[in-house]
């Protein structure tokens, strides 16, 4: 019997598999897709700091290197945040394959084109997986399916999800943008409780997307409106339509059961303010592996033993993401006028600090610079 | 019970599967509904980025 079965060869599953295999454990990843990384359900933006986790990302995984981000207030004024090391817009089609290869190189096995439909459960323990016409057992199961898997009902995770971003993205070409930056547009008319992104992928190409909290109108309405209102985009062509819903609220206290651990977007490990999940998935996959290694060495994969993952994840990421959730709540309440004022009050270095996870008090201090925002600042303290 | 999806509008992104609180949806070639699990809550209808789903209680 192999040691660990992982369901899903995305960033969480592959990162987890690599670390397990490196440490001498036998790992098999099942993925439902014919081709890893396809279809893309992602804006593909990533900060440079991710390389600290997975090593240097090869050039062919990167569609565009950027200097940083421009965040546009409703009145069109923007704040430019230049990052020390810059950032990437990935090519997920290549990146996901590369990440999986890293795991295969150290001994993990991947079986594609295989949909896992259920678990094998015996004596209160998860003991394996079931697919069409086959079953396989392992000492331990990792669910890294992303959010769009019905398998997650095993842990009753659905009931914890309390906020989602509904997203639509056009892969556009023939457009005219400043490809040195990723571009973020906020405003209640532009994308209620969310934002529009333009992430460059070369000189005249970009991922142009809208992510909103579902309300009266759908993401397509806001995205089409935005593209129509911007000549530099309107003149281009939509090559591909992508979409998805991102779990941006509902962090889980518990992510384990006897013989089962859930990580990555499947466990809502997503940054609640921008919906980015690649880096969170990698961290959570690696942490999962660390805990599983320890548990397998002791021969104890009980819920109690695996719950160390809950402790570690909350210490390393959960606390921070909780703060980001609070920040999101405050920002969501802002009117367009507030947002315009905020853009004036903030300095570029503030934005960089927030993206790194600065304390809310830092934001509060920035808000204090603008009299109209003092009330808001008080909410944060 | 009335849950309808327009497969011409649907972009097969699986967003509805991610948000269903009952695990009643699954994405294969199209989105499939497990009627036994569906509660007609309408979250999928709201969440769909292209409004391909219609739910009537």
What is the three-state SS of A29-81? EECCCCCCCCCCCCCCEEEHHHHHHHCCCCHHHEEEEEEEEEEECCCCCEEEE
Nearest CB to A168; choose among B28, B46, B49:
B49
CB contact under 8 A, B26 and A168: no
CB contact under 8 A, B49 and A167: yes
pLDDT band at B5, cuts 50/70/90?
Answer: very high
CB contact under 8 A, B23 and A166: no
Contacts of B46 in chain A (CB under 8 A): 166, 214-215
Contacts of B15 in chain A (CB under 8 A): 148, 166-167, 243-245
Cβ(A57)–Cβ(A139) below 8 Å:
no
Q: Cα distance from B50 to chain A (closest Cα, Å)?
A: 6
* Residue whose C-alpha is closest to residue A208's, from A167, A165, A147, A164: A167
Size of interface A-B (CB pairs under 8 A): 80
pLDDT at B55: 94
15-54 in B: which are within 8 Å (CB) of A?
Answer: 15-28, 46-51
Contacts of B50 in chain A (CB under 8 A): 168, 218-220, 243
**Nearest-CA residue of chain B relative to A213?**
B47
Instruction: Give residue-wise pLDDT tens across range B9-27.
Output: 999 999 999 999 888 999 9
Nearest CB to B18; choose among A39, A214, A244:
A244
Contacts of B49 in chain A (CB under 8 A): 166-168, 210, 218-220, 243-245
pLDDT at A357: 59
- SS3 at position A92: helix
Beta strands of chain A (E only): which ranges? 2-7, 27-30, 45-47, 62-72, 78-90, 109-111, 116-122, 125-131, 134-143, 163-173, 181-185, 195-200, 205-212, 237-249, 256-257, 260-262
| ipTM rounded to 2 decimals | 0.93
pLDDT at A298: 98
Angle A45-A325-A255 from CA coordinates, rounded to 5°: 85
Site from B49, B52, B54, B55 to mutate, A interface, most A CB atoms within 10 angstroms = B49
| Residues of chain A that touch chain B, judged by Cβ-Cβ distance less than 8 Å | 39, 41, 115, 146-150, 152-153, 158-159, 161, 164, 166-168, 210, 214-215, 218-220, 241-247
- Where b means 16+ CB within 10 Å and e means fewer, A34-69 reads eebbebbbbbbbbbeebeeebeebeeebbbbebbbb
CB contact under 8 A, B49 and A219: yes
Site from A163, A217, A218, A241 to mutate, B interface, most B CB atoms within 10 angstroms = A218
CB contact under 8 A, A241 and B11: yes
**Nearest-CA residue of chain B relative to A150?**
B23
**Nearest-CA residue of chain A relative to B16?**
A245
pLDDT at A328: 87
Nearest CB to B18; choose among A147, A218, A242:
A147
pLDDT at A280: 96
pLDDT at B1: 67
Q: What is the rounded distance in angstroms from the CA atom of residue A125 to the CA atom of residue A139?
A: 10
Site from B18, B24, B27 to mutate, A interface, most A CB atoms within 10 angstroms = B18
Contacts of B20 in chain A (CB under 8 A): 150, 158
Could you report the average pLDDT of every consecutive run of 10 residues in chain A (381 residues)?
97 98 98 93 88 95 93 92 84 97 98 95 96 96 92 76 93 96 95 96 95 94 98 97 93 95 96 93 98 98 98 96 87 88 82 66 76 74 65
pLDDT at A166: 96
Q: What is the rounded distance in angstroms from the CA atom of residue A89 to the CA atom of residue A121?
A: 41
pLDDT at A369: 79
């Amino acid at each position: 019997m192999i040691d660990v079965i992982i369901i899903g060869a995305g960033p969480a599953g592959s990162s987890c598999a690599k670390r397990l295999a490196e440490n001498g454990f036998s790992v098999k990843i099942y993925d439902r897709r014919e081709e890893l990384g396809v279809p893309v359900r992602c804006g593909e933006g990533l900060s440079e700091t991710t390389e600290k986790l997975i090593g240097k990302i090869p050039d062919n995984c990167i569609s565009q290197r950027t200097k940083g981000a421009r965040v546009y207030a409703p009145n069109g004024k923007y704040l430019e945040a230049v990052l020390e090391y810059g950032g990437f817009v990935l090519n997920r089609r290549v990146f996901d394959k590369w990440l999986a290869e890293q795991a295969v190189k150290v001994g993990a096995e991947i079986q594609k084109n295989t949909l896992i439909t259920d678990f094998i459960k015996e004596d209160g323990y998860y003991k394996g997986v079931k697919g069409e016409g086959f079953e396989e057992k392992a000492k331990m199961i990792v669910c890294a399916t992303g959010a769009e898997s019905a398998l997650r009902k095993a842990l009753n995770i659905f009931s914890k999800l309390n906020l989602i971003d509904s997203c639509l993205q056009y892969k556009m070409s023939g457009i005219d943008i400043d490809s040195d930056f990723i571009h973020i547009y906020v405003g209640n008319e532009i994308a209620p409780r969310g934002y529009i992104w333009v992430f460059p992928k070369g000189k005249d190409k970009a991922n142009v997307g809208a992510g909103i909290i579902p309300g009266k109108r759908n993401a397509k309405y806001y995205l089409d409106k935005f593209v129509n209102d911007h000549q530099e985009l309107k003149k281009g062509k939509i090559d591909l339509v992508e979409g998805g819903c991102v779990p941006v609220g509902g962090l889980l206290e518990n992510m384990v059961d006897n013989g089962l651990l859930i990580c990555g977007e499947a466990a809502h490990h997503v940054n609640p303010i921008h919906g980015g999940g690649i880096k969170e998935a990698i961290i959570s996959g690696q942490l999962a592996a660390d805990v599983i290694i320890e548990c397998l060495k002791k021969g104890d994969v009980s819920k109690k033993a695996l719950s160390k993952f809950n402790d570690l994840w909350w210490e390393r990421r959960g606390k921070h993401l909780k703060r980001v959730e609070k920040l999101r709540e405050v920002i969501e309440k802002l009117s367009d006028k507030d947002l315009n004022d905020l853009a004036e009050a903030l300095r570029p270095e503030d934005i960089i600090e927030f993206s790194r996870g600065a304390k809310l008090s830092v934001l509060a201090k920035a808000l204090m610079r603008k009299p109209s925002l003092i009330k808001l600042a008080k909410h944060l303290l | 019970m009335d849950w309808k999806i327009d497969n011409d509008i649907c972009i097969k992104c699986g967003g509805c599967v991610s948000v269903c609180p009952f695990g009643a949806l699954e994405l294969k070639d199209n989105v499939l509904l497990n009627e036994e699990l569906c509660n007609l809550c309408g979250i999928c209808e709201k969440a769909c980025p292209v409004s391909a789903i219609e739910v009537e209680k």
